[in-house]
Structure 1
Amino acid sequence: MKIKQLDEELSAILQAIIDNESKINDIISDIDEDYKLSAKNLCRYLILRSFDLRKYHDSLSDCGVSSLGTLEGYVYSNLYNVIRNLRLIQGLPFDKKSDIELIGYKKSKDIVKKNGNKLFNEVKKNHFTEIMVTLPNEAASDKNIIKDFALSGMKIARINLSHGDIDIWSKMVTYIHEVKAETGKDVKIYMDLSGPKIRTSQIEITTKKGEIRNYIKVKVGDHIILTGNKTLGRKSKFGNDNEQLVKAEIGISLPQILDDVKINDMVLFDDGMVKSTVVSKNDNAIELLITDCYKTKIGSQKGINLPNTKLKLPALTPRDIECLPFICKHANIVGYSFVRSGEDVKFLYDQLRPYNAKNLGVVFKIENNEAFENLPQILLEGMKHHKIGVMIARGDLAVEIGFERISEVQNQILWICEAAHIPVIWATQVLENLAKTGVPTRAEISDIVQGIQAECIMLNKGPYINEAIKILKNISERMEAHSFKKKNSLRALNIAIHSTSLLFNKEKIAL
């Protein structure tokens, strides 16, 4: 592409940002003062990424100017300087003036680090990545578990409120404070809200031999009934020609979601190990056709995902709300599961208000497709408050969006959060083989290198977890010297097009 064409097309994109600046100012009017510049940059980034920028990369690099590959944190400044340099190369003046407040590369780095320190640390740090570790229930009775984690490099102790009870959590909290006093290690406390858990109900099927089975058998082509009625399950029955005479039946933990399900929606069981499609429904049940089986059984209390269904479930359960006083008293950070929209964010802060929890950090867990698509709105609502972050919950997210898309989507989450200068937690299956068996896979080590783009990496439980913490700490310290975030190719993002249409009330930003 010729320099003149580059100049004209990029100048049109810059003008589109300038033309929408008054609207951006309206959007950020309620944003916390510490986040205002970052919210502006996020909005500018969404406008920019609603265009396909790939056609400019090679030509810009040939001109010896920025290829726009690392502009997430300082959109207007980078684009402005690229156009100015193109004008200088052509020997043309560049007198475009505006009162737009600029963020340069150095300032964007400083803001990201400041926001990371605000969420994860009490003292200023110039480097990341922080290490978060999920505490096993045994940590409530053995302080040395927590102490060993802290000495190995854990900076944030995660208490999963989906498991255990307030007595167990209280003992963990007590031990964390004792470990801090004994070791001098500043360990923060992170507590995860459970959110609504959609699972299969208890299955108890009596065989002809009088044995109790806690599962039903399935294969591709079977029809099963998912019901809101109380049931201990029912197995399929087949005729001599393998025709299914009786359809297997399973109960569901949250029957109300059946109202939201539509014909042809996908229903996944057990982390996507069994896939099915809705073929019919009535008032309190849906009939499913099994389309893929990586397992031949569906058991009791197995997770159910509905990636195509827009659920009307509240993001906070009554149990979550009951836990809030305990969280506000003892936690430094709370993880918000099942958040899907800006309205969900507002609802959480409304619930926190009575407990004067202004210093409580809030991490939005992006674990379903709806949350991913609404990430900019979730961030803008969260930025009305004090300390926020994002967790890429790759387990549920991969099941929801499909494993083939998880790499692409997790990168988009990183880019959008960098544009908003919001710290990110990289979670699920990090060094999982090492933690469980003592031997890492090569893929796990590569995953860490990518995860270091985030400000925090979360490890789960396992008998070799201390070795995993030490290796993660060692690799992250080595890699931090080599990079800060990374370069990327910039095709137009659907999430940016979707968000700009919502935020700016336009089908597409015009050039």
Structure 2
Amino acid sequence: MTITAANVPALRAAAALEELLALRAQIVDDAEQRKIAIGAEGSSVEDPAIDNLCHYLALRHHDIRPLQRRLMTLGLSSMGRLEGRVLPTIDAVLQALAALAGGRQDLHHAPEESAFFAGEARLTEATADLLGMRGAGRRTRIMVTLPGTAGDGPDMILDLARAGMDVARINCAHDGPEIWRAMTAYVRQAGKVVGRDIKVLMDVAGPKIRTEAVATAEKKARLQVGDRLRLVAEGEPYLDETVRFSATVSLPEMVTRLTVGDRLRYDDGKLEAVVESVAAGEAVVVVKRTKAGGTKLKPEKGVNLPDTALGLSPLTAKDETDLETVIECADLIGYSFVSRPEDIDLLDEVLARRGQGDRPLGLIAKIEQPLALTNLPGLIARARRRGAFGVMIARGDLAAEIGFERLAEMQEEILWLCEAASVPCIWATQVLEDMVKEGIPTRGEMTDAAMAARAECVMLNKGPAIVDAVSLLDRLLGRMDGHLFKKTPTLRALKSW
């Protein structure tokens, strides 16, 4: 064929068509192997969400950026927003390429509109099953962590419900069954008043490592770069001339598993240290990085060990006992430190032993460790078979485990993977934190909260201004709902110009 200006687009379309056809065939072949790898093969029930997840994983194994740019110059979709519809998007692009290239009849038919958007419909249904019906004027639900004082009376929870709370979170690391039962009763009561089904999530603590007793050489002393901190497995914390900070921890055996060079992060990463020496029943760490002005050593602060293999079960003896109250009160279980598909089997075994019976409980897996990230497709495949399921991006522990530099990247990848599998996603930790605590948000956290509209739910922590924060978030999410769905801008009319 003689190349002319008139037929260049057709030739480019024909070349892109052949490349995309070959890519589609690779994706379909690779997806079958990925179903086996994540434990989804051989299921008696077909799950189009898992099929799409495997197609997405297969696609993302390739770098298709050059192809995307060529498609854009032809006026076609770059396939940059296909998480919920991998093969339908590819087939639609193939049909368009065939038309530009002069016609070809042996291709997969372009999907009907309902089939093209079936992934969105699956995600909408899964979100309603897990988190309840959507709030008026917004797609994204609002979850609020309740303080223990919420069990003192109905007023706080009723105010939160009126402000827009959709899910009440009870952290089982604090308080106890009597307070949890009181809070649950007030949530049910508030739901009736506002005419909405407000879900109760009870978050079992898992083997969270926290500081317990602490000792410092001076009352107001703060840990600075170069300071040493002694961790003690048994007995009381103690000091000497070279180590002027000391603490015991909630999981004493962690101290004996530390080795020289292991990193330690304290209080959601506000301080980073490295193990300098170990001895019988204790370890000394030296501070390598901390916030300006230093970090105060306090009880009940989290400790993360990204380099240390602890080999712990995600369920502690306390969790097993707490699950009896969870079964009694909750709609949803928050599962901390879940890392492997078999961890979900472990939870179901404990629930059965503790008397769950036929009462269904939704499950939210908190993604907070590197192994959970690696195994996320397998966790999704296993959990979807048990019923309503969602994923929480637990940004506090996750950042402390993988490092702050990787957090933004990983939270995006979790959102994409969950959308591909039609799994609701919860955006958690430090959302509107200054607003909740001080009553005035920072500019950065307002932007963060706006970007959270891509998730199915946003979690706020407790604080004195929590009701005002819920009201603000309710309005913000409502406005963002007109601009954005996942990675897709939605072009509502602009009124500022």
TM above 0.5, yes or no, is yes
Contact 1:117 1:124 in 2 (8 A): no
CA gap 1:183/1:219 in 2 versus in 1, 3 angstroms = closer
Following the alignment from structure 2 to structure 1, what is the Cα–Cα distance between the partners of residues 93 and 285? 55
CA gap 1:83/1:308 in 2 versus in 1, 3 angstroms = farther
Following the alignment from structure 2 to structure 1, what is the Cα–Cα distance between the partners of residues 463 and 44? 40
Alignment partner of 1:319 is 2:311: no
Quote how far apart the aligned CAs of 1:111 are: 0.6
TM-score, normalising length from structure 1?
0.85
Contact 1:269 1:298 in 2 (8 A): no
Aligned residue identity for 1:486: K
Q: Which moved more, 1:16-25 or 1:78-87?
A: 16-25
Following the alignment from structure 1 to structure 2, what is the Cα–Cα distance between the partners of residues 255 and 356? 35
> Hey, what does 1:119 align to over in structure 2?
130
> Hey, what does 2:197 align to over in structure 1?
186
Following the alignment from structure 1 to structure 2, what is the Cα–Cα distance between the partners of residues 79 and 332? 39
Matches within 5 A, 1:87-486: 87-93=98-104, 95-96=106-107, 104-121=115-132, 128-204=139-215, 213=219, 218-234=223-239, 236-237=240-241, 244=242, 249-282=246-279, 284-294=281-291, 295-354=294-353, 355-356=356-357, 359-486=360-487
Alignment partner of 1:74 is 2:85: yes
Following the alignment from structure 1 to structure 2, what is the Cα–Cα distance between the partners of residues 487 and 183? 32
Quote how far apart the aligned CAs of 1:358 are: 5.2
Identity of aligned residues (%): 36
Following the alignment from structure 1 to structure 2, what is the Cα–Cα distance between the partners of residues 50 and 439? 43
> Hey, what does 1:20 align to over in structure 2?
30
Aligned residue identity for 2:477: S
Quote how far apart the aligned CAs of 1:136 are: 1.5
CA gap 1:206/1:395 in 2 versus in 1, 3 angstroms = closer
> Hey, what does 1:494 align to over in structure 2?
none
Quote how far apart the aligned CAs of 1:469 are: 1.2
Alignment partner of 1:38 is 2:60: no
Quote how far apart the aligned CAs of 1:177 are: 2.2
Higher relative contact order (CA 8 A, sep 6+): 1
Following the alignment from structure 2 to structure 1, what is the Cα–Cα distance between the partners of residues 118 and 135? 16
Q: Which moved more, 1:255-264 or 1:432-441?
A: 255-264
Contact 2:142 2:167 in 1 (8 A): yes
Quote how far apart the aligned CAs of 1:2 are: 4.5
Contact 1:195 1:316 in 2 (8 A): yes
Quote how far apart the aligned CAs of 1:407 are: 1.4
Following the alignment from structure 2 to structure 1, what is the Cα–Cα distance between the partners of residues 188 and 461? 21
Segments of 5+ residues of structure 2 without an aligned counterpart are 1-10, 490-497
SS of the residue 1:310 aligns to: coil
Backbone CA RMSD of aligned residues: 2.9
Following the alignment from structure 1 to structure 2, what is the Cα–Cα distance between the partners of residues 260 and 358? 40
CA gap 1:183/1:104 in 2 versus in 1, 3 angstroms = closer
Aligned residue identity for 1:444: E
CA gap 1:262/1:73 in 2 versus in 1, 3 angstroms = farther
Following the alignment from structure 1 to structure 2, what is the Cα–Cα distance between the partners of residues 296 and 121? 41
CA gap 1:463/1:285 in 2 versus in 1, 3 angstroms = closer
SS of the residue 2:213 aligns to: coil
Following the alignment from structure 1 to structure 2, what is the Cα–Cα distance between the partners of residues 386 and 160? 22
Q: Which moved more, 1:372-381 or 1:257-266?
A: 257-266
Aligned residue identity for 2:66: K
Aligned length: 472
TM-score, normalising length from structure 2?
0.87
Following the alignment from structure 2 to structure 1, what is the Cα–Cα distance between the partners of residues 446 and 245? 43
After superposition, give the CA deviation of every residue in 1:400-446 in whole Å (9 maximum; x if it has no partner): 22222221111111000000000011111212222222222222221
Following the alignment from structure 1 to structure 2, what is the Cα–Cα distance between the partners of residues 44 and 257? 40
Following the alignment from structure 1 to structure 2, what is the Cα–Cα distance between the partners of residues 394 and 482? 25
SS of the residue 2:417 aligns to: helix
Aligned residue identity for 1:28: A
Aligned residue identity for 2:180: W
